[in-house]
Amino acid sequence: MHIHIKNYMEDLVWNYLDVIIAKHPQVCNCEKCRYDIAALALNFLPPHYIVSDKGETYTKVKSLEQQFNVDLISAISQAIRIVTNKPRHEME
């Protein structure tokens, strides 16, 4: 038995990230920028905690995805714009 609480928004952001980055060829695809984009996008989105145990959550998760689809795309696009204007990868 392994039950834990997770912010499902994190999974959704990672799921959408690659698809949206692919539509923005100017985006740096290095690890640092990808994480910066994901973190920024998550700051724009409300957290959505779920209890993660069995497969039962799948339908819940699908409806969440539909509910937040537009918010996810706009949060990630906004994060991409910010990171592209001011990438932090050069500082380290």
Shortest Cβ 38–Zn ion spacing (Å): 13
Q: Where are the alpha helices (DSSP H) in 1-46?
A: 8-22, 31-44
Nearer residue to Zn ion within complex by CB, 62 or 89: 89
Smallest distance, Zn ion to C-beta of residue 74, A: 22
Q: Give CA–CA dist 61/68, Å, rounded.
A: 10
**Residue (28 or 40) nearer to Zn ion, CB:** 28
Using left for φ > 0, alpha for ψ between -120 and 50, and beta otherwise, residue 31 falls in: alpha
Q: Which is nearer to Zn ion, 23 or 89 (CB)?
A: 89
